[in-house]
Amino acid sequence: MAYFYSEEGVMNQVKLTKLDRNRGRGMNDRQLIESAMELAKQLDLGRSEHYADAILRLVQRFEELTPEPTSIVWEPKEGEKYYFITKEGAVNYTHWRGHQFDKDLLKQHKIYKTRHQAEKAVKHQKRYNIVLQAVLNLEPDQKVDWSDQNQNKYAIYFDHKGGLFRKSTTWRHEQGYPVLTEEKNVQPLLDYLNLKGGEW
């Protein structure tokens, strides 16, 4: 049960069991609140609009008290030095001038504050791009339907202890690498990636 307080301070109980239990899963705060507002309007209480108004005021107050999230993406200032990865996979640097070249790198999330960060990114990007290219070559017309739990999605992950790529089956979790939808393609993908293991 959830409890909502009216403006007069009277506590009212609203049974949320009328909501489909699965409806709340995966919702963000705004969606949950909208769902609660819809329920409040549907309640046969005679004063349902009053409860919806109370929920709306609660939402507005929540937004007033919730600060905007701080960006974790670093953006260089005018004249500031930054590092980027070249098309050859090398690390280079330049200074931010706001030119289209700078903006394109920023838009593609290819700008790093330090050489060390960029060098780490090279390895991860190369691994990801090899997997992406192989998946698209094996299944060029694939259609992944994350809402379909009957469609198997074959995910791969890198086992750092064993130093090999391995597979897992998933229906709704994207685990960092593109998935396959046909089981017959899994082993060829693993064989290909594990033969390239020296590049990790």
29-43 pLDDT, tens digit each: 667 767 766 666 665
> In terms of domains, do 27 and 61 share one?
yes
> In terms of domains, do 43 and 89 share one?
no
> In terms of domains, do 23 and 94 share one?
no
Cβ-proximal residues to 192 (8 Å cutoff; 6+ apart), any chain: 134
- The boundaries of the domain holding residue 37 are 2-65
> In terms of domains, do 32 and 90 share one?
no
> In terms of domains, do 138 and 154 share one?
yes
Which residue blocks in 66-185 are alpha helix, DSSP H?
100-107, 115-138
pLDDT at 2: 46
User: How many separate domains does the chain show?
Assistant: 3
Provide the whole-model pTM. Answer: 0.57
Number of C-beta neighbours around residue 39 at 10 A: 20
Q: Residue by residue, what is the 3-state secondary structure of 34-60? A: HHHHHHHHHCCCCCHHHHHHHHHHHHH
> In terms of domains, do 97 and 150 share one?
no
10 Å CB burial of residue 112 (0-12, 13-18, 19+) is buried
98-129 pLDDT, tens digit each: 999 999 999 999 999 999 999 999 988 888 88
